[in-house]
């Protein structure tokens, strides 16, 4: 198996249950959307909700049913062209920026396809040899659950009416105290996913030694209120705080606040709401995170520093998306589950990393250029999806994910 390391994956019935739970959550997240909501695409980076419903199904149909169920015939011969994302080995596909042209098939037709695939896949869920691949498929679908949420948020934001997707009240965040620091004495740390310790993506390994210098990591996230201080202090107008590419981006795009901020409000899945000054700031780019850290006299952590601290924490403690109705954001400041946290690390292969052959080998390795690593998972990350070794990655200017920051410093 290829896109994932970690062989000790327990087979059914745990896997069958995980499969069903994952599939059901995807559909639950899309349930409030009309066919039209699920069709629109707001930018090249984002995909329609409908497309996520279909692409995840394409993944199962291609890599499980087609490859492992003898005699399986594709539900529709022309749909792989529509719903392959980026797997060159799987052939030509619709240009990414044209996904919003798919008014057909409808959400209903895609749900019917999902049901057919779920039915057909049932006998495979018990096969121990397929367990790693099924676990990878679940992890893959969870990633698209998060993207479905962040992409539809961006799409609804384009509508001047700012329509809500649901109507949920976010509890007020607790006023955070002064930052306390997780201190680390430096030395050699073991970084990356441990073989046999459960599922991990291929890019989380091989586990290897990294030499750290003494450092400290903030025990909480930067808040909306602190970000407002940065703005009030002229942060977006002070060239000296910014990386050169960041300063060019700020000026070219006219950026003066996080995405989704307007006056005292910000846009949420529940429409325009008052911002909570004590909640963590989100929807910032890596450029903004870096400038803020410079302004604050601190810096971003490396991904290794972050992981060394996080190894002692339980990822499940965080505020992640659950099968029970989606409780997006509660406004905590935990290591896991409030927002993705920028590191200053570029997304690069670990020593001795080698991408697997074949289509699934395209999963992670080919993106190791020009992106930065984020850690920790967000309020839109499905529960159980992240762990201390988990590496997310985006281009430095992207900010439509729930991205925030946690400061670090040398000691």
Question: Can you give the binding site for a second copy, defined by CB under 8 A?
Answer: 34-40, 42, 50, 78, 81-82, 86, 88-89, 94, 98, 100-104, 106-107, 155-156, 158-161, 163, 188, 208-211, 213, 239-240, 242-247, 286-287, 290, 344-346, 348-349, 351-352, 366-370, 396, 410
Backbone CA torsion sign across 400, 331, 140, 156: negative
For a second copy, the closer CB: 107 or 148 = 107
Tokens 């008052």 -> residue: 274
Across the beta sheet with 215-218, the strand order is 181-184, 215-218, 408-410
Least separation in angstroms between CB 303 and a second copy: 11
Least separation in angstroms between CB 262 and a second copy: 15
Angle 333-373-286 (CA atoms, 0-180°, nearest 5)?
A: 70
SS3 272: strand
Least separation in angstroms between CB 109 and a second copy: 10
Cα(340)–Cα(373) distance, integer angstroms: 9
Cα(330)–Cα(107) distance, integer angstroms: 30
For a second copy, the closer CB: 130 or 372 = 372
Least separation in angstroms between CB 107 and a second copy: 8
| DSSP 8-state class, residue 355 | P
For a second copy, the closer CB: 123 or 160 = 160
For a second copy, the closer CB: 155 or 405 = 155
For a second copy, the closer CB: 269 or 387 = 269
- Stated as kind and residue range, the H or E segment containing 277 is none
Cα(240)–Cα(248) distance, integer angstroms: 12
Neighbours of 370 (CB within 10 A): 10
Least separation in angstroms between CB 81 and a second copy: 6
For a second copy, the closer CB: 158 or 174 = 158
For a second copy, the closer CB: 22 or 403 = 403
Least separation in angstroms between CB 360 and a second copy: 12
For residue 267, give Cα distances in angstroms to 236, 243, 317.
21, 28, 26
Least separation in angstroms between CB 299 and a second copy: 8
Cα(315)–Cα(320) distance, integer angstroms: 9
């Amino acid at each position: 198996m290829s896109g994932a390391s970690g062989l000790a994956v327990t087979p059914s019935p745990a896997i069958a249950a995980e499969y069903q739970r994952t599939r059901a959550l995807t559909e639950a997240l899309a349930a409030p959307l009309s066919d039209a909501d699920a069709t629109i695409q707001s930018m090249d980076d984002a995909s329609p909700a409908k497309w996520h419903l279909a692409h995840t199904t394409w993944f199962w149909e291609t890599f499980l049913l087609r490859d492992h169920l003898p005699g399986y015939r594709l539900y529709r011969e022309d749909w792989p062209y529509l719903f392959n994302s980026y797997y060159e080995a799987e052939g030509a596909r619709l240009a990414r920026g044209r996904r919003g042209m798919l008014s057909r098939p409808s959400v209903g037709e895609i749900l019917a396809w999902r049901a057919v695939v779920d039915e057909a896949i049932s006998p495979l869920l018990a096969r121990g040899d397929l367990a790693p691949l099924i676990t990878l498929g679940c992890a893959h679908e969870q990633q698209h659950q998060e993207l479905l949420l962040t992409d539809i948020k961006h799409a609804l934001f384009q509508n001047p009416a700012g329509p809500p997707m649901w109507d949920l009240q976010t509890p007020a965040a607790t006023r955070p105290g002064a930052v306390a620091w997780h201190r680390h004495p430096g030395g050699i740390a073991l970084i990356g996913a441990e073989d046999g310790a459960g599922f991990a993506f291929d890019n989380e390994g091989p586990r290897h030694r990294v030499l750290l210098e003494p450092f400290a990591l903030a025990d909480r996230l930067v808040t909306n209120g602190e970000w407002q201080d940065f703005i009030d202090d002229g942060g977006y107008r002070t060239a000296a705080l910014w990386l050169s590419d960041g300063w060019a981006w700020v000026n070219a795009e006219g950026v003066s606040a996080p995405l989704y901020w307007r006056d005292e409000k910000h846009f949420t899945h529940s429409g325009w709401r008052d911002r909570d000054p004590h909640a963590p700031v989100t929807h910032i780019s890596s450029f903004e995170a870096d400038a803020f850290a410079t302004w604050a006299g601190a810096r971003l952590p490396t991904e290794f520093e972050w992981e060394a601290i996080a190894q002692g924490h339980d990822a499940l403690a965080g505020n992640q998306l659950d099968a029970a109705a989606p409780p997006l954001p509660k406004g905590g400041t935990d290591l896991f589950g409030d927002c993705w946290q920028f590191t200053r690390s570029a997304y690069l292969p670990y020593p001795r990393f080698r991408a697997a052959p074949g289509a699934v080998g395209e999963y992670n390795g080919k993106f190791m250029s020009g992106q930065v690593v984020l850690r920790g998972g967000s309020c839109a990350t499905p529960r159980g999806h992240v762990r201390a070794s988990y590496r997310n990655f985006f281009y430095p200017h992207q900010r439509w994910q729930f991205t925030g920051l946690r400061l670090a410093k040398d000691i």
